[in-house]
Structure formats: structure tokens, C-alpha cells
Structure 1
Amino acid sequence: MQNTNQEHWDSVYAEKDEVQLSWHKDDPSVSLELAALAGVSPSSSVIDIGGGRSRFAACLSAKGFTDISVLDISPVALEKARRAFGDTGASINFLAADVTPWTPASTFDLWHDRAVFHFMVTSEDQTAYIDRMTKAIKTGGHAIIGTFALDGPEKCSGLPVVRYSPQSLSERLGGEFTRVAARQIKHETPWGSVQSFQFCLFRKVG
């Protein structure tokens, strides 16, 4: 399954420019707002899951953050990100890996995921993801997770997704995470259609 997913996403990123991706957003304002609410600072350690073509890591780097990792299943996405970031990305640690079997080598103050977890459609993949996230976040650290909302699309990039409300996402993550904040947003794709997302900020208490 891992190789199949990698091939799928390599193909997507190879064929499309950044602005042709449905999830593209020039300004990751909701993520930045929730990161500020989490209290992260330039000395904080941050990992961006599935962030190969996301602007989030670049924005943090521009704000003076120096301990940033970007994990993505697609080496093609990461290589394009390296080139796009240029000098801004010199301090970013790029990790080509599928998050579900990945073993974190360190822990982080902030875990950021804009639309990866909702691709975990089996309970096994969801559990594996949550296990990695739990191990990767420091006690007292935070996670930002964005997924399609309950009225959002049932598929993305041809793949099925699981849609969540803040309540159902909290229940799925379990008792080690407490929800701090939630945001409902309408994301406009580059071609003008509107998609419903929900973003949640969680604090690791276990």
C-alpha cells in the first residue's frame, strides 16, 4: 500500500504545478493562527506532515523558526519544495516517508497536518498514524489537524477520505489529546469551487 500511495502522489506532483493542486493556498492563515494559539515560537520544533508543497514551513522559516521538518510520502513533492523554498528552506529537514510506518527520531513541540489524516480510511492506518503522532509530540505539545468537514468532499485527488467534525476527530484521537480550538473554513480551490474543511488544535496531555 505504501508504494502504491507513493506512486500516486509522485504522479500528482509531477504532473501538476503548485497552483493546480486543489488544496493549494498561498497564505496558510488558519494554520498560522492555531500555531500562535499553541504558543510556538522560533525556538520551537515543528513537523509538517504531508507538507511537501505546503507554504506553512516556508512561512515559519521566514518568521525565524530554525527547527522545522517536513515529512511527505512523495520525494517528487519534496524536491519541488526544496527548489521553491530556495535559501528560505536551507534550514528545513525534508523527510521522504509514509507517516504510518515511520519512526520519529525526535520529538516536536508542534505537529501540523493539513489534510493527510483524512486519507487514513482504515482503522489500522488511523491507529498507526495516531501512534506515530503520540510518540512524536512532546507532553504538553500540540497538534494541528485539518480534514474535510462533514459536508466536505468524499474524495480528494481520486482517493476516498474520511470526513470529520471536531467532536468525531477528538473521539478518534483518544484521551491523550484534548481539543483546544476548532475552526470551520470554506476553502476555495484554484478553479473556484468551495470545499468545507475543519481544523482542530489539540494539546497532548498524556
Structure 2
Amino acid sequence: MKDLGSQIAYWDGVGATKTFTHPVNPSWLAGVGASARILDYGCGYGRVMAELSDHGFSDVSGVDLSPTLIERGRRLSPDLRFAVLESPPDLMCASAGFDVVLLFAVLTCVPEEDAQRALIAELSRVLVPGGLLYVSDLVLQDDERNHSRYAAHAQQFGTPHGVFATDDGAVCRHHDITELRALLSDFDMVDEQRIDVATMNGHRSQAVQLLVRKG
């Protein structure tokens, strides 16, 4: 899908040097067996995958649209399974192939609403009934710096409130929490938690984590 892959030049360039920080809450996966099939969609260089492996999960794989990030991951964690997304959001795997899917700081990189809906639909397809989708992403920020960025991008491009361009060339989106809940409305809500994170460019930002279950 063109909308999801349109920023590959960024993620294969300066984006491939970033450090990602959204934390994993192990208690949310306490009821998941060690042999559960877990997919990290938009895995970057595999930071979350490595953490899950350290927690004892034995069947963890990751996909990302950036070959450069995937190569970085393979160098850092040669024992983990990485694959490049050839045509995001489509996954080259059977339906109901995973027990858990993680989506960490991915929706912020997919500003278009139609592309977000297509991504969530694909993740639902590959989850087993009763499977978990664990989302971590950024919400609308209240500071003047971000309000100015939102307004500038909306005025220039007519984008939804919350879309902005970073100084180094990425187009990102911060979400109203109601937008995220609506995006996941076909799932059953299990838990929701507000957190504070460092962004890939070193700013402190408010984020949210949502754990939902496929019916």
C-alpha cells in the first residue's frame, strides 16, 4: 500500500539511526504462554523483540518496511527472526497465524486514516480469535511547540489535527485518544494506560498503551 510505504526513504536513511523507547509492560502478557506466536509489526531494529525474548518468549518474529532497520536488527540480534515488509500492510502469512501482535509507535508513522484502518484490518486477519493486539502510540500534546506544528501542517496540506513534519523530514501523527479507541473498536478492550516516553528525537511526550482482544 503506497500510503504506508511512502516514507521508506526516511526510515532507510536518518530514521534507521534512531533509538526507540516505548516500554513493554510485562504484566499485560502475563497470561500469554512462553510458546505463543508473537509478531512485532514495525519492529525496527528489534528492540521490543529482544526484550520479549529475554522475558522467555520463544516464538517471536518481526517485520518492518525498512531493509536498513531490518539489517540493523539482524546484526544486533542474529538469533531473532526478521523480515522486510514488501507491500505494507500486507503480511505474507496465513490468517490466524499469531496469538499476539505488537504495534509500537507505528500508527504515528502512518498519518492517513484509510491506511491506518487497512493496517488494523490486516493485523486482525492474522490474529487468532481471542488473540491480543498490544498498541503503544503517541497522543495529542498540549505544548505550544506541537500545537504550532499541527496547525502549520493542517494549513499547508489540509491534514487532520495532529499531523506534523519533524525537523529531519518524517511526517508523523499524534492522536486524540478517542481516535485510537475508534480505530480499535472491533476489538474488545482489555486495558489502557497513559505513559510518558522519549520520542525518537529526544523530546518527552505523552503516549498511551492499549491492550485489546480479537473477538
TM over 0.5: yes
- 1:164 and 1:198 in contact (8 A); partners too: no
After TM superposition, the score normalised by the length of structure 1 is 0.80
| Alignment counterpart, residue 117 of structure 1, candidates 96, 107, 116 | 107
| Alignment counterpart, residue 28 of structure 1, candidates 23, 29, 32 | 23
Query: Any stretches of 5+ residues in structure 2 without a counterpart?
Result: 147-161
- 2:128 and 2:214 in contact (8 A); partners too: yes
CA distance in 1, matches of 2:117, 2:92: 14
Matching of residue 68 in structure 1 with residue 63 in structure 2: no
* Structure 1 outlier segments of 4+, above 4 Å: 189-192
What count of residue pairs does the alignment treat as equivalent?
A: 189
Matching of residue 188 in structure 1 with residue 198 in structure 2: yes
Return the offset for 1:67: 1.3
| Alignment counterpart, residue 171 of structure 2, candidates 159, 182, 194 | 159
Cα 1:55/1:191, change in 2 over 3 Å: same
Matches within 5 A, 1:1-206: 1=2, 4-14=6-16, 16=17, 20-21=18-19, 24-25=20-21, 28-30=23-25, 32-36=26-30, 39-86=31-78, 90=79, 92-97=80-85, 98-105=87-94, 107-151=97-141, 154=162, 155=164, 158-165=170-177, 167-175=178-186, 177-189=187-199, 193-205=203-215
When the two chains are superposed, the root-mean-square deviation of aligned CA atoms in Å is 2.4
- Percent of aligned positions that are identical: 26
Name the aligned partner's letter for residue 51 of structure 1: C
- 1:78 and 1:96 in contact (8 A); partners too: yes
User: Per the alignment, in what secondary structure is the counterpart of residue 10 of structure 2?
Assistant: helix
Cα 1:122/1:202, change in 2 over 3 Å: same
User: Per the alignment, in what secondary structure is the counterpart of residue 89 of structure 2?
Assistant: coil
Name the aligned partner's letter for residue 35 of structure 1: L
Cα 1:187/1:3, change in 2 over 3 Å: closer
Query: Any stretches of 5+ residues in structure 1 without a counterpart?
Result: none
